[in-house]
Amino acid sequence: MIVVTGAAGFIGSCMVKRLNDAGYQDVLAVDDFSRPDKARNLEGKQLWGQMHRLNFVRWLERNHTDVDAVIHLGARTDTTEQNVEIFNELNLEYSRALWMICSGFDIPLLYASSAATYGLGELGYADDHATIPHLRPLNPYGQSKQDFDVWALEQINPSYAKASAGKNPSIVNRQSPTTWAGFKFFNVYGPNEYHKGRMASVIFHTARQIKLTGEMKLFRSHRPDYQDGAQSRDFIYVKDVVDVLLYFLENKPSNGIYNLGTGQARTFLDLATGTFRALDLEPHISFVDTPADIRDTYQYFTQAEMGKLRAAGYNEPFIGLEEGIEDYVQRYLKEEVLW
């Protein structure tokens, strides 16, 4: 049995779909299932069952012999949320509990980190374990992902704790799953994200705005070194993300924390223009101020260094931005179809 946490969410439901397509039918979907609007994401999926996240840790302890791997994608992902305790509970402590159980019973564990851990990119975007403890995220969400990454590294080598300034080593019986990997997701877009609201991808919001108004408003630049719309991110199609996770599940490359982007930054202007073209429309783009609550922590550039993933043996090409937008818009967004 393969367990997917966050299974009713965006990436989680796409992971279940990819597993089904690869022949995995006994998949346990773990989530809180408290939002009826997310239930659609699991319609038509082949599942062994569903389980509330609060019941899963105890269930895993008792039924570990039935589990072949855990793909941990469940998390609070709102970058505007400022309540640190929410992130400590949902993103840090819960992940630690799963890690310890998977370690104790030798269950392979794949988990989601985030490119939000890189902050403003002062140290670049290399997924080098020696650099990771020095990263400085810009918001509580990114910090929660950073804290777990560093904690995971401490379990394989206590010296990583010394590199994390101002933090004491976690007092645990250090151990790690024989097979584990964390993935710093960059800007993921694609089907099944309709429920994410403000946190959905710019492609999703562009298509929706175009349908309603015929135009798209992008955030204005508040930095003199970036023109409006030239803010750049490493956008990766969710189908590539789940392909990589499936590769690690089946091939078990070297343990560690990996970037998961395309390695190619593209501008928001490119993205919006591509969305108009996928809808067979001429671009009509204007700019508005970045909301004050995220302006000071807004990333203007991200680009994953992908050498480590390639060295792990994943050689498939990533879907280009224009191709990904066309697939997403024409196959899913136009008719509000799920994957």
- Amino acid making up residue 286: S
Per residue in 100-137, pLDDT tens?
A: 999 999 999 999 999 999 999 999 999 999 999 999 99
Whether residues 154 and 220 share a domain: the answer is: no
Does 149 fall in a domain? Answer: yes
Please state, in angstroms and rounded to a whole number, the distance separating the CA atoms of residues 183 and 75: 13
Whether residues 69 and 197 share a domain: the answer is: no
pLDDT confidence tier of residue 159, bands split at 50, 70 and 90? confident
Q: Which two tokens stand for residue 339?
A: 């994957």
Does 30 fall in a domain? Answer: yes
Cross-strand partners of 237: 189
Could you list the active site residues? Answer: 141, 196
Mean pLDDT across the stretch 170-178? 69
Whether residues 159 and 290 share a domain: the answer is: no
Whether residues 117 and 20 share a domain: the answer is: yes
Q: What secondary structure does DSSP assign to 85-128, as a single string?
A: HHHIIIIIIHHHHHHHHHHHHT--EEEEEEGGGGTT-TT-S---
Residue range(s) defining the domain that contains residue 34? 2-187+236-260
Does 208 fall in a domain? Answer: yes
Mean pLDDT across the stretch 235-246? 98
Q: For 329-332, which contacts have Cβ atoms below 8 Å and span 24 or more sequence positions?
A: 329/203, 329/207, 329/275, 329/278, 329/279, 330/278, 331/191, 332/190, 332/191
Does 314 fall in a domain? Answer: no
Contact 63, 43 (CB under 8 A): no
pTM above 0.85, yes or no: yes
Per residue in 262-321, pLDDT tens?
A: 999 999 999 999 999 999 999 999 999 999 888 887 889 999 999 999 999 999 999 999
Q: What is the CATH number of the domain that holds 15?
A: 3.40.50.720
Question: In degrees rounded to 5, what are phi and psi of residue 325?
Answer: -60, -45
Q: What is the pLDDT of residue 78?
A: 66
Q: What is the pLDDT of residue 96?
A: 96
Does 308 fall in a domain? Answer: no
Domains: count for the chain: 2
Distance spanning both ends of the chain, measured CA to CA:
22
Whether residues 33 and 75 share a domain: the answer is: yes
Contact 99, 109 (CB under 8 A): yes
pLDDT confidence tier of residue 145, bands split at 50, 70 and 90? very high
Does 44 fall in a domain? Answer: yes
Q: What is the CATH number of the domain that holds 211?
A: 3.90.25.10
Q: What is the pLDDT of residue 294?
A: 81
Q: What secondary structure does DSSP assign to 256-317, as a single string?
A: EEEEES-S--EEHHHHHHHHHHHTT----EEEEPPPHHHHTT--SB-----HHHHHTT--PP
Whether residue 148 has pLDDT greater than 80: yes
H or E stretch at 243: helix 238-251
3-class DSSP state of 219:
strand
Does 183 fall in a domain? Answer: yes
Q: What is the pLDDT of residue 173?
A: 57
Q: Tell me the CB-side half-sphere exposure of residue 99, using CA atoms within 13 A.
A: 24
Whether residues 43 and 141 share a domain: the answer is: yes
pLDDT confidence tier of residue 164, bands split at 50, 70 and 90? low
Does 76 fall in a domain? Answer: yes
Whether residue 239 has pLDDT greater than 70: yes
Whether residues 84 and 220 share a domain: the answer is: no
Per residue in 7-64, pLDDT tens?
A: 999 999 999 999 999 999 999 999 999 888 898 999 999 999 999 999 999 999 999 9
Q: What is the pLDDT of residue 91?
A: 87
Q: What is the pLDDT of residue 161?
A: 67
Residue finishing a domain among 260, 294, 311: 260
pLDDT > 70 fraction of the chain, expressed in percent and rounded = 94
Whether residues 173 and 31 share a domain: the answer is: yes
Per residue in 72-100, pLDDT tens?
A: 999 876 666 677 777 778 889 999 999 99
Whether residues 38 and 121 share a domain: the answer is: yes
Q: What is the pLDDT of residue 56?
A: 97
Whether residues 114 and 206 share a domain: the answer is: no
Whether residues 104 and 132 share a domain: the answer is: yes
Whether residues 211 and 183 share a domain: the answer is: no
